[in-house]
Amino acid sequence: MKSALNLTRAPRKQIDMSNASKTETPLNTADSLRLAMRGLAKSVTLISTTGESGQRHVMAASAVTPVSMEPPSVLFCVNRNASSYPALFAGADFCVNVLAQCHLDLAHYCSVGAKGESRFDQGTWLKDESGLPYLADAQAAIICTQDYRLPYGSHDVFFGLVSTVHFGCEIDPLVYADGAYIGLADQALIP
| Residue ranges that bind ligand FMN, judged by CB under 6 A | 44, 59-63, 77-79, 82-84, 111, 115, 176
CB of 171 to ligand FMN, least distance (A): 18
Nearer to ligand FMN, 59 or 143 (CB): 59
Nearer to ligand FMN, 52 or 190 (CB): 52
Residue facing ligand FMN at closest CB distance = 63
List the beta bridge partners of residue 145: 161
Q: Are 41 and 71 in contact (CB under 8 A)?
A: no
CB of 162 to ligand FMN, least distance (A): 18
Nearer to ligand FMN, 83 or 163 (CB): 83
Nearer to ligand FMN, 83 or 146 (CB): 83
CB of 108 to ligand FMN, least distance (A): 7
d(CA 85, CA 177): 25
CB of 51 to ligand FMN, least distance (A): 12
CB of 80 to ligand FMN, least distance (A): 9
d(CA 15, CA 44): 23
Nearer to ligand FMN, 27 or 63 (CB): 63
CB of 86 to ligand FMN, least distance (A): 10
Q: Are 61 and 94 in contact (CB under 8 A)?
A: no
Nearer to ligand FMN, 26 or 34 (CB): 34
Per DSSP bridges, beta strands 175-177 and 42-43 are antiparallel
